[in-house]
Chain A
Amino acid sequence: MLQYIARRVLQFIPVFLGVTLLLFVLTRVIPGDPVAMMSGQRTQSPVILQQMRHAYGLDLPLPQQYVKYLGDILRGDFGTSITTGRPVRDIFVEKYPYTVRLALAAIIIEIIVGIGAGVISAVKQYSFWDVMVTLSTSLLVSLPVFWLGMLLQMFFGIWLKQWTHGQFYLPMSGAGGPGAPFPSWVYLILPAITLASVSTAYAARIQRSQLLEVSGSDYIRTARAKGLSDTAVLWRHSMKNALIPVVTFIALDLGAMMSGAILTETVFNWPGIGYTIFLSINKRDWPVVIGATIIVTFVFLVINLLVDISYAFLDPRIRYGSSQER
Chain B
Amino acid sequence: MPIDDKKAVEAVEEGKDSPRIQHHLETGGAPLDQVASATSGGSRTLWRDAWYRLSRNKLAVAALVYLAIVGILAVTAPLWATRLFGDPLFVDTTTVMKTRFLAPSLSHPMGTDDFGRDTFARLVYGARISLTVGIVATFISVVLGLIFGAISGYYGGMVDSVVMRLTDVFLAFPYILLAILLISLMGMGLGPVLAAIGILGWTTIARVFRSSILSVKENDYVEAARAMGASDARIMIKHILPNALAPIIVYATMSLGGVILTEAALSFLGVGIQPPTPSWGRMLNEAQGYIVTHPALFIWPGIAIISTVLAFVLLGDGLRDALDVKVNE
Contacts and interface: CB of A to CB of B under 8 A. Distances in A.
B225 interface: no
Contacts of A142: 257, 261, 305-306, 309-310, 313
B165 A14 contact: yes
Central interface residue in B261, B270, B310, by most chain A CB within 10 Å: B261
Secondary structure at the B interface, as helix, strand, loop or mixed, is helix
Interface residues of B, number: 50
A154 B292 CA distance: 7
B174 A297 contact: yes
B202 interface: no
B181 A144 contact: no
Given A18-B166, A205-B329, A300-B172, A146 B271 contact: no
A224 interface: yes
Contacts of B158: none
A293 B177 contact: yes
B281 A144 contact: yes
A293 B306 contact: no
A254 interface: no
B302 A18 contact: no
A293 B176 CA distance: 11
Central interface residue in B20, B264, B287, B295, by most chain A CB within 10 Å: B295
Interface in B290-307: 291-292, 295, 298, 301-302, 305-306
Nearest to A266: B269
Given A139-B306, A151-B302, A278-B269, A144 B284 contact: yes
Nearest to B329: A206
A212 B329 CA distance: 15
A30 B310 CA distance: 36
Contacts, number: 127
Given A31-B185, A262-B174, A150 B313 contact: no
Given A147-B302, A150-B284, A277-B177, A212 B185 contact: no
B56 interface: no
A39 interface: no
A61 B264 CA distance: 40
Nearest to B285: A146
A14 B261 CA distance: 31
Given A14-B165, A142-B313, 16 more contacts: A18-B172, A126-B7, A126-B16, A138-B314, A143-B309, A146-B265, A147-B301, A150-B284, A151-B302, A224-B1, A256-B174, A262-B174, A263-B176, A290-B181, A300-B172, A301-B172
Interface of A: 11, 14-16, 18-19, 22, 26, 29-31, 125-126, 138-139, 141-147, 150-151, 153-154, 158, 202, 205-206, 209, 212, 215-216, 221, 224, 256, 259-260, 262-263, 266, 277-278, 281-282, 289-290, 293, 296-297, 300-301, 304, 326
